[in-house]
Structure 1
Amino acid sequence: MRFTTHLALAAPFLILLGSCVGPATRPASPAPAPAPRPAQAPVRPVAPAAPLASDWQYRPTAPGDWRWQSDAAMSIARFGPTAADPRLTIRCDRAARRISIIRAGAGQGTMTLRTSYGATSWPATATTASVPQTIAVRAAADTALDQMAYSRGKFAIEVMGLEPLIVPAWPEVSRVIEDCRG
């Protein structure tokens, strides 16, 4: 009886002792062979999506160069692929202290200047001369002209009915503005 009493008292401890043993170790199974990789289709270059109007600053500048000239009455900077084919002209009338921004092509309504500082709209008129143009005239003191001259690398001229024109902000632009403020 004494043995059964000790056995009855030890039984719970024997059950707990069995739970202290770790799991049985199994022999390591060999690693599965890697699955064969499916053949990859050739990667096709993806054409970039057309940029949104607000993303003008990420578009490239139009091809061409600025050319500057001056005389007693005027200071002029012309941008275009050739001297004979300007896409944008910035002209100072020194006597009137007025600057004309002339965009090739007859557009409608306003001319919008987009710079790294923001956007400004000016009233513009279209000419139907032998060479269609859209013209906006500003006082030489207009601060938007400074924004055009100091824009980070480029600025855009937009006229309804014409493709936006993005041009580099080179020193010729600043020269015309400074000549007009004289």
Structure 2
Amino acid sequence: MRLSLTFATASSLLVLLASCVGPPASAPAPTRAARARPAPAPRPAPAPSPSPTPASAPAPATQVAASTAWADRPLTPGNWSYRAEQGGSIARFGPPAQPLLTLRCDLASQRVVLTRYGAGQGAMVIRTSYGAVSWPATAQGGAQPALVAARAASDAVLDQMAYSRGKIAVDAPGLAPLVVPAWAEIARVVEDCRA
């Protein structure tokens, strides 16, 4: 008991001793002569010498042309139309008599078929505000030649086409580039095919 009382007393004394610290030392008060003298004006910093800014590495030419040029193109004249059909639906862009581009839902295979009318060859490049994707396409001859690409209805690029900011582009070798508005007809066909 006596030991704990001694310990408590010693602890209290240490706390009191620690609190007996005086105020911090302050700087000496300036003399009368120092107060009368104005402080020297600060010198202006020397002007920095211009240093050449390092040039950033240019983007590859194919990437620049692919990503910026299409967004500046005007829209191709025409409108989208939508029609439900037996076994799916179809969205057409261009004049009603002869569309330039169609998206057709084939419910049986759950595939969306993109058709670009005209005598083209090779892959179709789909450009959206999300990026560019190349789709393999098959050339079809006959009275109305076309390039045809079929994709699974679950393909994420179909969503990118439906929700692109303002427009999408469809390019194919041998055909004039198309820049079409991203209207609701695209999303309707894709959703029909996913049902």
Structure 2 length-normalised TM:
0.65
Tell me what 1:166 maps to: 179
Tell me what 1:48 maps to: none
Tell me what 2:81 maps to: 67
Tell me what 1:22 maps to: none
Q: CA RMSD in A?
A: 1.0
Tell me what 1:38 maps to: none
Tell me what 2:134 maps to: 121
SS at match of 2:123: strand
Shift of 1:72: 3.2
Structure 2 CA distance for aligned equivalents of residues 71 and 78 of structure 1: 13
Tell me what 1:178 maps to: 191
Q: How many residues align?
A: 130
Percent of residue pairs bearing the same amino acid type? 56
Structure 1 length-normalised TM:
0.69
2:189 aligned partner, one-letter code = V
For residues 105-138 of structure 1, give each alpha carbon's deviation from its aligned partner in whole angstroms, at most 9, with x where no partner exists: 1211101100000000010011111101010110
| Unmatched 5+ stretches in structure 1 | 1-51
SS at match of 2:122: strand
Task: State which of 112, 116, 135 in structure 2 corresponds to 1:103.
Answer: 116
Tell me what 1:8 maps to: none
Q: Which has a greater percent of strand?
A: 1
Shift of 1:58: 1.0
| Unmatched 5+ stretches in structure 2 | 1-64
Task: State which of 88, 91, 94 in structure 1 corresponds to 2:101.
Answer: 88
For residues 17-75 of structure 1, give each alpha carbon's deviation from its aligned partner in whole angstroms, at most 9, with x where no partner exists: xxxxxxxxxxxxxxxxxxxxxxxxxxxxxxxxxxx554111111100000100023121
Shift of 1:155: 0.2
